[in-house]
Structure 1
Amino acid sequence: MKPNHCIIFDPIPYHGGSKVATQLAIQQVNDGTVFHVLSASPMSWNQGQSNKVSITNLALPQCLAIQTQRLGYWAKQAYLMFCLTMFTAWVVITKFKKPNTLVMASGPGVDFAGYAVSKLMQIPLLQLIHGPVGKSSAAKWCLNQGHPTFYLQSAEPSLLLCMDSESLPANFKTFTNGLDENDYPTPHSFSIDGITSFYWAASLLKWKGLDILKNAIELTEPSSQLTTNICYIKPQNSNAEQSLVDATIPNTCWYHEPNNLDEIRAKSDVYISTSTNEPFGLSTLEALSAGLIVVIPRDNAFWDKKLQHNVNCIKYDANDAQSLSQAMAHIAKNPEQYQGIAKQGQKIATLYLASNTYRDIAWAIEAKCPQEPTLGSGCEIKSGEQQ
């Protein structure tokens, strides 16, 4: 029996948590599906994860990559549509079979070209939404095409606003992120050397809040026994405002997209999140599972709602470097009293396993089969149908 073929379209030219989540989701799909990834950031995809995934580079000129509005946006979408059409035709010719699904994971406005190719070539589409959706006519058109759409709960207000609706159609379903049981974060063991090691991991995009951490470190007393490991992603070909790397800040170690991220995390004692209104926070979940003391802002976002201060995490006032500095200083002075909080956080993490959190997405991808589905098979929702 020939395998099913699925194309994943990834037009964002830098690494991010949404790509990690998408990779974990497709790992839950059965071995009868082969994935062909067309990516503007091929290094973001773990090519060794499975022999059922192949990655092809999407050459995206910088002059187009930075276009997000007006004629520039449509020029970029026309170019992306051409590239995806050619890539899809190549898959059809070489595999002697039409792809069963096009998976979009960057957001409806960014993925417009994928929707156009889906309609042009009559291939079912599945959309993953990992964060808030910007309001635009292009995004609204995409969301109204009736394709199966999976979204993080935090994205719902922006989806309703974009669609000018009070409720979402039946083809929209929520999901949450999870961790791969076969590649679980290495557990942390607290040391007794008197130095507390803090850990931060995110991109340099301004909203990730690195500047808050830098200010907090500078406000911390020089006598405080702490060091900070800062692991960062520097987005390329992006007009979005970014924070600056500052290696002159004392007692900090800077790592640009380190290959040994798991090792750095496991050797750290405390994880700090400075993102405000983070749609999910995969780094926070990884830190919880590794048994670090987790420090998050009070911002009414996902983890602020799920975790309790002084029970399974420590909270500080959002966007307040002074509040964060005080939290860091208190932990550094007596880290032993916070180790129980880390253990409670570790228990919370066990509720978020990829085999459970991405199950519905995997089933939806597997349901895109050439045969007509039977009632109750899980294949009833077909891409392109209005609900």
Structure 2
Amino acid sequence: MNTSNHILVLDPITYTGGSKIATREMLDLLNRKNNKITVLTANPRSWLLRSVNIIKMSHPNWLPISEYGKSYWFRQLYFCLWLLYIRLFYGKIDVAVGASGPGIDMPIYMMKWFFGYQITQLIHGPVGLSRSIGLCLCHAEHVFYLQSAYPSLLAALKQVWRKEIASVQIEKQEQLLATHHFEPFVNGISEKNRPTPCQYQSPQLFWAASLLKWKGLDLLLDTIEATNLELRAPTTICYLIPENNALPTTQAPRHIEGITWHHQPENLDTLRSEANIFVSTSHQEPFGLSILEALMAGMCVVIPSDGAFWDLILTHNKNCLKYKPNDMSSLQHQLSIANGNLNLITQLGQSGAHLSQGYQAEKCYLPIKLAMEKRSITSLALNEVKQ
């Protein structure tokens, strides 16, 4: 088998999330005949892919989890040793993929000059404000980012030229961001991974995310507890517990009548199909892959009107229901509307499913696929003409 292009994906995060699911979709599109894929990960169960080397990277408890200072750099050096291991035992690396953001994927930048690979950086949320992150953005061959991360990219790049006068800073930022080096993207789901359609027999709520505080589970739990028992719809909550993480989390599960809890279930798709009202409580969700999955499943999606991605795409009472951000009474009102109207659930769900057809992974991720394969749109077009 001709494996001329070795792609390494670095994943030091110890729990599953939307960014990993999106990256997994991207990798699944790659041509296996010409590309060897190695995933170096602290969480192997996130990467169930065909014809891929999955290398488990230990993440010992003594390893610091600070996001800055000496302990941060110590952790990065530890992961650099793992990159050295891959190079020694799995061969030359042609493309290194940062699956999270420069602050997390720093080791691939630290080792770039030793190994000589190209870097394709994926950015699924805001990046940190630091000069080192700005320098990483300058040295990656390709940076693909969700549009919501754009202001943070500008801020990080500004740190690189912070000694320059303001007009020069802006000029250099604009010049860099105007190149093919930076390209926005939206997430998609492939046809083979399309969620199972939901049921429309009786109202049932569904929530799925990690227990990170900014995912907002507390808001949903408080709303359900404040609702009379006879007015509550059955609720399914699927959750992930973030490990080796410095960010605040919600304590769960909690015993609340009417709620069924599932910790990182293997049958997530089945559980989602048994419900029909998807509730998002995240604060300024950069994209919300779980929302896209719910739309594709034909669920009635309930989201905050917070100016985030899906708030700008979806329309209240047309293909979703919206509530005031962090407002328990507003969320309770929208849930009561959905709970009491199965026809509305069906109507909004089917309208959302129709809209979701524009988010196919094969189209959304084509530029990223080509960057990983070290090809261009031009070369793809030439190959199609020859064929």
Q: Same fold (TM over 0.5)?
A: yes
Return the match for 1:307 from 304, 310, 314. 314
**Which residue of the partner structure matches residue 95 of structure 1?**
none
Q: CA deviation at 1:99?
A: 2.2
Structure 1 CA distance for aligned equivalents of residues 153 and 371 of structure 2: 21
**Which residue of the partner structure matches residue 8 of structure 1?**
9
- What does 1:9-88 correspond to in 2, within 5 Å? 9-31=10-32, 32-46=34-48, 49-51=49-51, 53-88=52-87
Structure 1 CA distance for aligned equivalents of residues 264 and 369 of structure 2: 28
Residue deviations 1:182-203, cap 9 Å, x none?
A: 1210011211xxx521000000
In the alignment, structure 1 residue 107 sits paired with structure 2 residue 101: yes
**Which structure is higher in helix share?**
2
Q: Is the 8 A contact 1:129 1:150 kept in 2?
A: yes
Structure 2 CA distance for aligned equivalents of residues 308 and 29 of structure 1: 35
**Which residue of the partner structure matches residue 220 of structure 1?**
227
Any idea what SS the aligned residue of 2:96 has?
strand
- Residues 280-289 or 333-342, more deviating: 333-342
Q: Is the 8 A contact 1:132 1:158 kept in 2?
A: yes
Any idea what SS the aligned residue of 1:125 has?
strand
**Which residue of the partner structure matches residue 384 of structure 1?**
none
User: 1:45/1:65 Cα in 2 relative to 1: closer, same or farther (>3 Å)?
Assistant: farther
Structure 2 CA distance for aligned equivalents of residues 271 and 250 of structure 1: 19
Structure 1 CA distance for aligned equivalents of residues 251 and 226 of structure 2: 18
Question: Structure 2: any 5+ residue segments left out of the alignment?
Answer: 159-169, 382-387
Return the match for 1:205 from 200, 212, 227. 212
In the alignment, structure 1 residue 135 sits paired with structure 2 residue 137: no
Structure 1 CA distance for aligned equivalents of residues 108 and 86 of structure 2: 12
Structure 2 CA distance for aligned equivalents of residues 235 and 293 of structure 1: 28
- What does 1:230-269 correspond to in 2, within 5 Å? 230-269=237-276
Structure 1 CA distance for aligned equivalents of residues 129 and 346 of structure 2: 43
User: 1:324/1:115 Cα in 2 relative to 1: closer, same or farther (>3 Å)?
Assistant: same
- Residues 216-225 or 11-20, more deviating: 216-225
Structure 2 CA distance for aligned equivalents of residues 212 and 89 of structure 1: 49
Return the match for 1:334 from 325, 337, 341. 341
In the alignment, structure 1 residue 289 sits paired with structure 2 residue 289: no
Residue deviations 1:192-245, cap 9 Å, x none?
A: xxx521000000000000000001101222221511100001011112100011
- What does 1:154-165 correspond to in 2, within 5 Å? 154-164=148-158, 165=170
The alignment covers a number of residue pairs equal to 363
Return the match for 1:186 from 169, 176, 196. 196
Structure 2 CA distance for aligned equivalents of residues 119 and 277 of structure 1: 36
Q: Is the 8 A contact 2:9 2:97 kept in 1?
A: yes
Structure 1 CA distance for aligned equivalents of residues 83 and 228 of structure 2: 54
Question: What one-letter code is carried by the residue in structure 2 that aligns with 1:308?
Answer: T
Any idea what SS the aligned residue of 1:262 has?
helix
Structure 2 CA distance for aligned equivalents of residues 353 and 61 of structure 1: 38
Structure 2 CA distance for aligned equivalents of residues 115 and 269 of structure 1: 44
Question: What one-letter code is carried by the residue in structure 1 that aligns with 2:2?
Answer: K
Q: CA deviation at 1:249?
A: 1.0
Any idea what SS the aligned residue of 1:308 has?
coil
- 1 or 2 for the larger relative contact order (CA 8 Å, sep ≥6)? 1
Any idea what SS the aligned residue of 1:196 has?
coil
Q: TM-score, normalised by structure 1?
A: 0.90
Return the match for 1:126 from 110, 120, 135. 120
Any idea what SS the aligned residue of 2:10 has?
strand
Tell me the percent identity: 39
Structure 1 CA distance for aligned equivalents of residues 57 and 65 of structure 2: 15
Q: Is the 8 A contact 1:13 1:65 kept in 2?
A: no
Q: Is the 8 A contact 1:367 1:378 kept in 2?
A: no
Q: Is the 8 A contact 2:302 2:323 kept in 1?
A: yes
Q: CA deviation at 1:138?
A: 1.9
Q: Is the 8 A contact 2:119 2:140 kept in 1?
A: no
Return the match for 1:177 from 171, 187, 195. 187
Residue deviations 1:35-63, cap 9 Å, x none?
A: 101001112111xx312x11011112223
Any idea what SS the aligned residue of 1:235 has?
coil
**Which residue of the partner structure matches residue 139 of structure 2?**
145
User: 1:33/1:332 Cα in 2 relative to 1: closer, same or farther (>3 Å)?
Assistant: same
Question: Structure 1: any 5+ residue segments left out of the alignment?
Answer: 93-97, 380-387
Q: TM-score, normalised by structure 2?
A: 0.90
Q: Is the 8 A contact 2:224 2:232 kept in 1?
A: no
Q: CA deviation at 1:338?
A: 3.1
Any idea what SS the aligned residue of 2:111 has?
helix
- What does 1:333-372 correspond to in 2, within 5 Å? 333-367=340-374
Residue deviations 1:233-288, cap 9 Å, x none?
A: 10111121000114311100000000110001001010000002101000000000
Structure 1 CA distance for aligned equivalents of residues 333 and 186 of structure 2: 32
